[in-house]
Structure 1
Amino acid sequence: MRGSLKLFSIYGIPVDINPTWLIAVVIITWSLSTGAYPAFFQMWSPQQYWIAGIVTTFLLFASVLAHELGHSFAALAQGLKVRGITLLLFGGVSRIQGKATRPRNEFLIAFAGPAVSLIIGLVLIVWWIKFHPSHEYMVTPLHGIIFFTGWMNILVAGFNLLPGYPMDGGRVLRSVVWGFTGNTRFASKVALRVGRVVFYLLIGWGVWQIFNGDVIGGIWIGLIAWFLMSSARNEQEEQDNSVVIEQDRLGFEIRNIITPMPPMIEHDQLISDILSDLELTQLMGSIPVSKGGELLGFITGVDLERIPIEQRRKLAIGEITRSESLRFCSRFDSGRDALHAMDKYGVMQLVVMDDGYVFGIVTREGVTKAVQEFPYTTDISQPTDQM
């Protein structure tokens, strides 16, 4: 991210901080050291309040980093690329390249971050419940730090799960609507509209806090809501632009990108034999499964790798092949129609068939590549009204 300072890399994922992060460090440290800790633990010295506040602030940002790593590792597991993680004023952001191709994948990526925060929070709170001293005067800054870090992680998880797109909860909502309807554009509209309501409620909450004396807390919530609304507006513009691009680029007929049907594998072959016989390039694509020359469906190398090793010598590939993976299209269908069908049925390929004759298959990767190579002629540089 522009203007950010790179800190280090974790498993090849660059981690950097934005200068606005320093503002958050100062505000959170001051709030904890002069407000929260003195209110809860009145027996400490001023120095202990500040030490606890500083340590808790940095542990909170370490927790935010763990939260973002949850998103990033989930994205990597789905085959997406992660350009890095940036810590900034309102938390962190994972710069994930590309988008999930299935509702389930988007759900897992979106939910992974809050799940990490929730686990960290629960572990620390359980430790606090089990080991904190019975007498108040025996509570040390270490106990306080664990208590506050635990509760703040739980709050981070809960706040992020609010259905305000593009927050994690909004993306979870989008994935659920997408899964039920099969329509990504409709799912995005629902998530954005619900998110707009959530952000207005947050602004109202911030104003209410200001009128009740918590000026800093109210302003902070208002700024977060404003930031999220700006992000949502950018997402909306991106959605609108993508519609224009799709109309131009996805109108081609898929007969131009048909690929030959890969060699079919008989349904009674053992999974262990297939994994040892097939080349890596074959395992990375869709594998057609047949029975006596009749196509049953498709399986992927990822599906095979998920089978426990001890079962691979017992299970035949036909036993795990889903008939739902076999979907058809016409060679005269558009790229738009093909992608819509893949999204609707949750598959990565379609069998191209006309008049009972199979011409080959069309894959999501093939459509995407064709879109990228299609001449860019649509002008989307015109300014749009800001709401």
Structure 2
Amino acid sequence: MLVSTSWFFIAAIIAVLVAPRIEQVEPGLGVWKYVAGVVFAVMLYLSVLLHEASHAHMARHYGYPVTSITLHFLGGMTAIEGESRTARQELVIAVVGPLTSLLVGAAALAAWFVVPEGLLQVAIEGLAGANLLVGVLNLVPGLPLDGGRVLKAVVWGATGNMHRGTMVAGWGGRIIALLILSWPLFQNDVLGVPPSFVDYLLVVVLALFLWAGASASMHQAQVRRRLPALDARRLARRSVTVAEGLPLAQAVRLAQEAQAGSIVTLGPDGRPSGIVSEAALLATPVERRPWVPVSSVARSLEDGLALSAGIAGEELVRAISHTPAQEYLLLDADGAVYGVLSTVDVDRAFREAAH
């Protein structure tokens, strides 16, 4: 779990905002009323953590790795690796968070009637109101809110098109952002309450957050739409395998005769040990190539540089992002060398898929 520095800022604001209510219930606390306010902020964010933990639990239930849970000034964020495989999984992972907040709010509301009057009742009161509000607002149908993911899942399930679901939910988030900007007008003309500077600041921050989050989700959807074009087998370069000690000139000649675009070195045990770097090969003068072993321009096969030849799409992107390199060895299921994948070819295929 991570806590951003912005959380401490919002905790201080919460402490200041609830201090008058605490003073009303327990007069004469002095500076301790702010300490009590910070304690309430911690309690509130523990309920936010429970909201995010429910997302994480359900994601892990479906087999998706969860890398982190971050608490920030607008709530929390759960980082889940990969895209949901089905609309149902997307719906369940998304809706469980708001339902958790509503349950916490309902439980706190029930407890309010039985706890004695005083600071504890004030804390329970705030916890109930905040969680019920968070639960309802998170169900608003627009990304990046959980309700946006619910809308995405519904459209996805109805049309069978995940991309369309994301775009609809993204536009939903943008429309909600514009509606939020109009809140001060509604507050003034309909409710008859003149908006303050804080009201304007709050709606701008919330609108920017929603617009940016919705736009980012739509951009990611456009990117993911291109991922099926990234197929390792289709992009693989033919390779030749040579012994590590073979002179570089001879290895290059063998590759040219086989019309191969890459060279893989084999160790004494006959297993792949390295991939010849194209950049290092071109940097080696032709007159020196008969005298240097091919292993001198090969990169050792470290963890993450040998991939399954069947890897494709988002899984391929995650693999090369986790271990950045210029070339990767592709192996068949039986361990045989299939070829070499160059990130140059991956980038080119990704750009071509955009047109």
* Percent identity of equivalent pairs: 28
The answer to whether the 8 Å contact 1:206/1:217 transfers is yes
AA in 2 matched with 1:171 = R
The answer to whether the 8 Å contact 2:143/2:172 transfers is yes
Task: Confirm or deny that 1:203 pairs with 2:181.
Answer: yes
Q: CA deviation at 1:57?
A: 0.9
AA in 2 matched with 1:73 = H
Range with bigger deviation, 96-105 or 235-244? 235-244
The answer to whether the 8 Å contact 1:241/1:380 transfers is no
Matches within 5 A, 1:260-299: none
Q: CA deviation at 1:50?
A: 2.7
Task: Confirm or deny that 1:126 pairs with 2:110.
Answer: yes
Task: Confirm or deny that 1:149 pairs with 2:127.
Answer: yes
The answer to whether the 8 Å contact 2:59/2:66 transfers is yes
Correspondence for 2:72 among 80, 85, 88? 88
Q: CA deviation at 1:214?
A: 3.8
Correspondence for 1:221 among 203, 218, 224? 203
Q: CA deviation at 1:206?
A: 5.0
Matches within 5 A, 1:1-387: 15-34=1-20, 37=22, 41=24, 44-45=27-28, 47=30, 49-132=33-116, 139-206=117-184, 212-246=194-228, 248-249=229-230, 369-371=311-313, 372-373=315-316, 375-376=345-346, 377-378=348-349
Structure 2: distance between partners of 1:171 and 1:37: 37
Alignment-derived partner of residue 246 in structure 2:
none
AA in 2 matched with 1:103 = A
CA 1:195–1:88 in structure 2 vs 1: closer, same or farther (change >3 Å)?
Answer: same
Q: Structure 2: any 5+ residue segments left out of the alignment? A: 235-307, 317-340
The answer to whether the 8 Å contact 2:232/2:310 transfers is no
Q: CA deviation at 1:33?
A: 1.6
The answer to whether the 8 Å contact 2:174/2:210 transfers is no
Structure 2: distance between partners of 1:368 and 1:216: 55
Structure 1: distance between partners of 2:43 and 2:101: 12
Q: CA deviation at 1:244?
A: 3.2
CA 1:164–1:87 in structure 2 vs 1: closer, same or farther (change >3 Å)?
Answer: same
Structure 1: distance between partners of 2:185 and 2:56: 34
CA 1:367–1:90 in structure 2 vs 1: closer, same or farther (change >3 Å)?
Answer: farther
Q: CA deviation at 1:207?
A: 6.1
The answer to whether the 8 Å contact 1:164/1:196 transfers is yes
Structure 2: distance between partners of 1:368 and 1:170: 33
Q: Structure 1: any 5+ residue segments left out of the alignment? A: 1-14, 133-138, 254-365, 382-387
The answer to whether the 8 Å contact 1:107/1:176 transfers is yes
Aligned residues: 245
CA 1:42–1:143 in structure 2 vs 1: closer, same or farther (change >3 Å)?
Answer: closer
Q: CA deviation at 1:203?
A: 1.9
Structure 1: distance between partners of 2:73 and 2:349: 36
Q: CA deviation at 1:368?
A: 8.1
Q: What do residues 319-353 of structure 1 show as CA deviations (whole Å, max 9, x unaligned)?
A: xxxxxxxxxxxxxxxxxxxxxxxxxxxxxxxxxxx
Counterpart of 1:369 in 2: which secondary structure?
coil
TM-score by length of 2: 0.62
CA 1:201–1:94 in structure 2 vs 1: closer, same or farther (change >3 Å)?
Answer: same
CA 1:29–1:380 in structure 2 vs 1: closer, same or farther (change >3 Å)?
Answer: farther
CA 1:368–1:149 in structure 2 vs 1: closer, same or farther (change >3 Å)?
Answer: farther
Structure 1: distance between partners of 2:202 and 2:309: 44
AA in 2 matched with 1:243 = R
Structure 2: distance between partners of 1:175 and 1:367: 32
Structure 2: distance between partners of 1:208 and 1:27: 25
